[in-house]
Amino acid sequence: MMLCTWVSHPEVIVDPAVRIQDWGLSPAGRDRAARVAALFPHPLRIVSSSERKALDTAEIIAGQWRTEFEVDEDLGEMDRSATGYLDPSEFEPTVDAFFAEPQRSVRGWERAIDAQSRVERAVRRIAAQTPERGIAFIAHGGVGALLLASLRRERISRALDQPAMGSSFTFDPQDWTALSSWEHVR
């Protein structure tokens, strides 16, 4: 069985003046990312989203494992550039609607079904390239929840969202099966 791990980036520095894709990890997020490498079997391949927060996480993990990592843009978080930064009082209801209405673009965001399809295709493609190796995917909680729904063959739902930033789950991409639920990296 090929064991893969989906890791969502930990806490970030939220700066409304900076593009969301360019937000980096906070000091607490960097500390949490440093603990990730010790919690998982050493995969032979690490693939990260191209967003700064995921790259920061992958860089820390790869540094501890003394290995390189790759970047794949298709692992990116749902495209929410139509709104950019939203205050939490607007962001949370928008995310709720994103998950509740996966066939609809909420406030111009990428539709959940499209983000799910994009991430699923990327994971399948990457896993097929190295079926004999475990892979750590370093990305985001929102699209991780969409991937988890696909792996469980369940409807898209916010109930499958990560418990907190810096969470992970394991899966078998060959059987397309989730092997765990989200676990928060402490």
Nearest to residue 171, comparing CAs of 154, 147, 143, 141?
Answer: 147
Give the whole-angstrom CA distance, residue 58 versus residue 70.
9
Res. 37 pLDDT band, cuts 50 70 90:
confident
Res. 84 pLDDT band, cuts 50 70 90:
very high
Average pLDDT, the chain: 94
Res. 44 pLDDT band, cuts 50 70 90:
confident
User: What is the pLDDT at residue 36?
Assistant: 85
Give the whole-angstrom CA distance, residue 166 versus residue 5.
12
Res. 186 pLDDT band, cuts 50 70 90:
confident
User: What is the pLDDT at residue 132?
Assistant: 80
Half-sphere exposure of 57 (CA within 13 A, CB side): 35
User: What is the pLDDT at residue 8?
Assistant: 97
For the segment 63-85, the average pLDDT, to the nearest whole number, is: 95
User: What is the pLDDT at residue 38?
Assistant: 79
Instruction: Compute and round to an integer the Cα radius of gyration of the chain.
Output: 15
Higher pLDDT, 40 or 137: 137
pLDDT digits (tens, 9 = 90+) for 90-131: 999 999 999 999 999 999 999 999 999 999 999 999 999 988
User: What is the pLDDT at residue 43?
Assistant: 67
Cross-strand partners of 168 = 7, 183
Res. 42 pLDDT band, cuts 50 70 90:
confident
> In percent, how much of the chain has pLDDT > 70?
99
Nearest to residue 51, comparing CAs of 19, 83, 84?
Answer: 19
SS3 at position 92: helix
For the segment 14-30, the average pLDDT, to the nearest whole number, is: 95
Res. 39 pLDDT band, cuts 50 70 90:
confident
Nearest to residue 170, comparing CAs of 127, 121, 128?
Answer: 127
